[in-house]
Amino acid sequence: MDFQTLIEPDAIMPALKATSKRQVLQEMAAKAAAIVDRPEREILETILQREKLGSTGVGNGIAIPHGKLAGVDRITGLFARLSKPVDFDALDDQPVDLVFMLLAPEGSGADHLKALSKVARLLRNPQTVTEIRSLQDPGSIYAAMLHGKAQNAA
């Protein structure tokens, strides 16, 4: 699975305005609904159920909310750079400003974990994260992600 198959430029929200974790997830679920052709409410409920198991705020201002949904045919990513960081109950208690949401088919198992691992590796790269935080448009953020992915592979 290539990183390019996880996310497309039209799934990037470069300046999402939200004041809470729930609002971030709600806005991203609305965007995801059009991409994966599933109801917004179903996506949001799936993500919120996963959040109840433990926060997906992994630290350093980054969150990777994820969930499995019936009717989704492939693992799909969405990304949001928040206009202002929000509390996400992150492991390091720091607010989050970068959110990469992953939605996977119900039976995806190992592929879901591989996708999570790819995203986590990408967002652990300080250079990539700094670059993404400085960019304003979806195409540039997408290019930075692909460039960061290539650097991590080297």
DSSP state of 85: E
Give the integer Cα–Cα distance in Å for 19 and 26.
Answer: 11
**Which residue numbers are catalytic?**
66
- Which of helix, strand or coil describes residue 79? strand
Q: Cβ of 3: how many Cβ atoms within 10 Å?
A: 19
Instruction: For the chain, state the CA radius of gyration.
Output: 14
Tokens standing for 81?
């750079």
Cα diameter, the chain:
40
Segments in the chain forming alpha helices (H): 21-36, 40-53, 110-124, 126-134, 138-153
Look at residues 50, 106, 47, 113 and name the one whose alpha carbon lies nearest to residue 80: 47
